[in-house]
Amino acid sequence: MKIRSVLCALAAAAAATVFADVTSNVCGLLKITSDLNNTIIGVPWVEVGTGADVKVAKLVKTDNLTPGDMLYYYQNGTWNAWTLGAQGWERNTTVKVDGITVAAPQEAQGVARGKALILERKGDVTKPFYLYGQFTSDAAAAQTITVGTASAPSYTLLASPKVEAFDFNAEGKIVNPGVNDQIIIPKNGGDNTILTLQDGKWGYRKATTAKKFGKTVTTYTWTQADALAAGTGFWYVSKGGTPTFNW
């Protein structure tokens, strides 16, 4: 239809809003590039269409993954597991973690934004995989860090609920950590990156080896932590700290 004259908005601003183009819910495909056999992945989305906690089977796309790959979810000392089968992600009730048989995940179990899962890959880890779901700008539920002690540290699996890289050292992002607390980011071969606090900043000791006077000399330099890639997570090890994360 051609309109001969200039379009004119109605006097009421609210009525003018009715006439804007319509936009659907925003969804996303977050590409995760990781060469790890065990990758901690974050949950940055909610379920498409409903906005509920996203189901594991819908969050982690099976594209580029291999049958037999595993997903683990840890919460309050309990492990749940899923195995990639012919029909997609299937609940696993027989695998053991740390010698403990996993608890059966609920059929309709959803995982909230800000929670984390561990993806164990058995095939080609050079190919990326995808997390998909629906974007929301709503605040995520507050995460609870289990408080530990120096002799009995507690481990909490964490991830950012946002679809963006997380800078551990940005002002106000991690409030009230324990001075001896640690952040563990997995690396291949078991040589994890362990972040500690120095002068209020998170970083890690970087070893540099050189030959000097015929001897191998290793020096350590403390390096501030890199930002964590979107869609990935970490272990927070509390040795007395009760931190708050302001994602």
Partner 1 sequence: MKKVFLMVAAMGLAAASFADMNDALLSFATHGPDKYADGTTVIDGECYALVWTAAGAEFGGFKADGTLASATDRLVLAAPLAKGGKCPQTLFQINAAVADELKDGTYAVYLLDTRVKAEDGTTQLAGFKDGKAKVVNAQAAVGDSTAAAATTQTKVALAATAVGGAAITAETIIDAPQITGIKVEGATVKVTVAGMSPAATYKVVTCTKPGDVGKALDAKAKDGTFEFKKPEGTFFKVIGTRNF
Stretch that binds partner 1, among 3-11, 206-214, 219-227, 234-242 (CB under 8 A): 3-11
Q: Rounded distance, CA 31 to CA 166, Å?
A: 16
Using the minimum distance from each CB to partner 1, give the nearer residue, 35 or 63. Answer: 63
Distance of closest approach, residue 177 Cβ to partner 1, in angstroms? 30
Q: Rounded distance, CA 240 to CA 243, Å?
A: 9
The CA–CA distances, whole Å, from 111 to 114, 177, 204, 208, 240 equal 9, 25, 30, 40, 27
Return the residues of window 31-50 that contact partner 1 according to CB under 8 A.
31, 48-49
Return the residues of window 136-175 that contact partner 1 according to CB under 8 A.
137, 163
- The C-alpha angle 241, 79, 122, rounded to 5 degrees, equals 110
Stretch that binds partner 1, among 16-24, 65-73, 95-103, 151-159 (CB under 8 A): 16-24
Q: 132 — phi, psi (to 5°)?
A: -135, 155
Task: Give 70's DSSP letter.
Answer: E
| Binding-site member from 34, 39, 92, 134 for partner 1 (CB under 8 A) | 134
Return the residues of window 49-78 that contact partner 1 according to CB under 8 A.
49, 61, 63
Q: Is 11 in the site for partner 1 (CB under 8 A)?
A: yes
Residues that contact partner 1, how many (by CB under 8 A): 37
Structure tokens at 161: 């609920």
The CA–CA distances, whole Å, from 151 to 33, 100, 154 equal 36, 22, 10
Q: Is 28 in the site for partner 1 (CB under 8 A)?
A: yes
Using the minimum distance from each CB to partner 1, give the nearer residue, 10 or 170. Answer: 10
Task: Give 41's DSSP letter.
Answer: E
Distance of closest approach, residue 33 Cβ to partner 1, in angstroms? 13
Structure tokens at 133: 């779901």
Q: Rounded distance, CA 191 to CA 185, Å?
A: 9
Q: Rounded distance, CA 23 to CA 99, Å?
A: 50
Distance of closest approach, residue 64 Cβ to partner 1, in angstroms? 10
CA nearest to 34, candidates 125, 135, 108, 158: 125
Q: Is 240 in the site for partner 1 (CB under 8 A)?
A: no
Using the minimum distance from each CB to partner 1, give the nearer residue, 164 or 198. Answer: 164
Residues that bind partner 1 (CB under 8 A): 1-12, 14-15, 18-19, 21-31, 48-49, 61, 63, 130, 132, 134-135, 137, 163
